[in-house]
Amino acid sequence: MHNILLLILSLFFLPLANAEDQDIAALFAKEGADGTVVISSLDGSRTFIHNDARASQRLAVASTFKIFNTLIALEEGAISGKDEVLAWDGTKYDFPDWNHDQTLASAFKASCVWCYQELARRVGKEKYPAYIHKAAYGELHEPFEGTTFWLDGSLAISAKEQIDFLRKIIQRTLPFRAASYDTLREIMLAESTPAYTMRAKTGWAIRVTPQVGWYVGYVEVEKEVWLFATNLAVRSEKDLPLRQQLTRASLQVKGIIE
């Protein structure tokens, strides 16, 4: 009887880790956005979630896979470092930033699809399942195409799993060389101010319905690190800026950045 009473009391006082964050929910409601955001401290002791059900739903990973694919490409020797040149073959793309030679650094920043498809060819399709399984990086449906699996929905991941993966990246618990981690950290830089540094990657899955927009990364603030993963249903290209805007607003409303 005593043990049962203790169990009931512990459940009563257990923090509601997955409770809806009303502050963040109001931000999404104001924009009429259907999406989720997960913000978590590096040690996992504090987590804020809007739309827990969607945060647990696996969706097409899109170009956020460039974070992981960068590490894989470096580890496999598909590219030597951030300054190695990937030669453009002259194909004209709708995104002008893709239409020239690229380095790994510029390809990451421009989210250059053809660049990372070339790296995937160099790595080899057969090597990806083991990497994905070892990192517990969402789910890869087989069979899959070796240069489109992160774009067509074959590789799907949840916002919560993105957070878990980012934690492994920051803590360097996956079996990659220090030089690979260092290069990724450098090219992920999205914003630097006196108050904080943000490292992140966007994603836009246009080959699935509804389309999915992502913003995934982390913020270094003084002695703290906060991880974030945002995704939303993209109704049109006009929604794309909401990926960063809602992430930033969520970090602000929780007092992480100003």
* Catalytic residue status for 40: no
**What tokens appear for 159 in the block?**
């916002």
Contact 195, 212 (CB under 8 A): no
Give the residue among 117, 132, 161, 112 at the shortest CA–CA distance from 68.
132
Other C-beta atoms lying within 10 Å of the C-beta of residue 21: 21
User: CA–CA separation, 15 vs 117, rounded Å?
Assistant: 44
Angle, helices 159-171 vs 65-75, to 10°: value is: 40
Instruction: Give the whole-angstrom CA distance, residue 131 versus residue 136.
Output: 9
Which residue in the list 40, 63, 111, 250 is annotated as catalytic? 63
CA distance 147 to 28: 34
Q: Are 181 and 169 in contact (CB under 8 A)?
A: yes
Any idea which residues carry the catalytic annotation? 63
